[in-house]
Amino acid sequence: MPSRGNTKRKPEDTWVAVERYIDALQIPSDPALEAAREASRAAGLPDIAVSPSQGKFLYLLARIRGARNILEIGTLGGYSTIWLARAVPSGGRVITLEAEAKHCEVARANIARAGLAPVVDLRLGNALEVLPEIAAEGQEAFDFVFLDADKENNGPYFEWALRLSRPGCVIVIDNVIRDGEVADAGSKDSRVQGIRRLNEMIAAEPRVTATTLQTVGGKGYDGFTLALVLG
């Protein structure tokens, strides 16, 4: 490698440069997704949606799974929802849960602009209250679940995902590394403790087999857990 003299490049800068390079090749211009991101920013939503490459990763996983019935917890502006809704075949659907009315409003417009309103069932409310309603409706079992809401409740969300899914379902959980803090048993961050409780549950749960992949890029150092529902 050529010497860079004293100019030390931070690892974070390299992650971002690589992400830009890969995105330019694999995620060509996408007006609906770009408009969704811009409208979310303009409305003042937090800038915490999955990155383009992570969105495409979710889309590919759902396609590989052949998912027809997807559950997402944590919609924000609907950026990940659009990726997931694009993955389902005709007749498929995505149910997505969001607690904040303003986020719902922005997401609804973004999803409609992407032409996906017929595919997406967006429900406003605390997921812990909406999930029992979904169970009571007796909907078809989910074959793909994306958990991306308040990390403190990852444990209960995982239990609901198991209850509402069928064997072969893929459960993906976002933000499970949190800059590496997840390995700190004494962390004072309630989100980190929520992830650690989830990890204990997954480890003790015979109905799933799981792995966790660490990620780097524009969203910093984080990761996804992937669990397969057995049976």
By CB under 6 A, name the binding residues for ligand DHB: 48, 148, 174-175
Q: Are 9 and 45 in contact (CB under 8 A)?
A: no
DSSP state of 179: G
Assign 101 to helix, strand or coil: helix
**Binding flag, residue 93, ligand SAH (CB under 6 A):** no
Residue number, 92 or 198, with CB nearest to ligand DHB: 198
Nearest to residue 144, comparing CAs of 161, 124, 120? 161
Residues numbered 167 to 196 that lie near Mg ion (CB under 5 A) are 174-175
- Residue of minimal CB distance from ligand DHB? 48
**Binding flag, residue 158, ligand SAH (CB under 6 A):** no
For 42, list phi and psi in degrees, rounded to 5.
-60, -30
State the Cα–Cα distance between residues 128 and 108, nearest whole angstrom: 21
State the Cα–Cα distance between residues 37 and 78, nearest whole angstrom: 9
Q: Are 76 and 46 in contact (CB under 8 A)?
A: yes
Shortest Å, Cβ 80 to ligand DHB: 9
Q: Are 178 and 194 in contact (CB under 8 A)?
A: no
Q: State the binding string over 110-149 for ligand SAH (x if CB under 6 A, else -).
A: ----------------xxx-------------------xx
Task: Please give the C-alpha separations between residue 32 and each of 72, 81, 104, 147, 160, in angstroms, as whole numbers.
Answer: 19, 12, 17, 23, 31
**Binding flag, residue 72, Mg ion (CB under 5 A):** no
For 170, list phi and psi in degrees, rounded to 5.
-105, 125
Q: State the binding string over 42-81 for ligand SAH (x if CB under 6 A, else -).
A: ------xxx-----------------------x-x--xx-
- Span interacting with ligand SAH, options 3-11, 19-27, 91-99, 113-121, rule CB under 6 A: 91-99
Residue number, 143 or 148, with CB nearest to ligand DHB: 148
Shortest Å, Cβ 78 to ligand DHB: 13
Site for ligand SAH, rule CB under 6 A: 48-50, 74, 76, 79-80, 97-100, 103, 126-128, 148-150
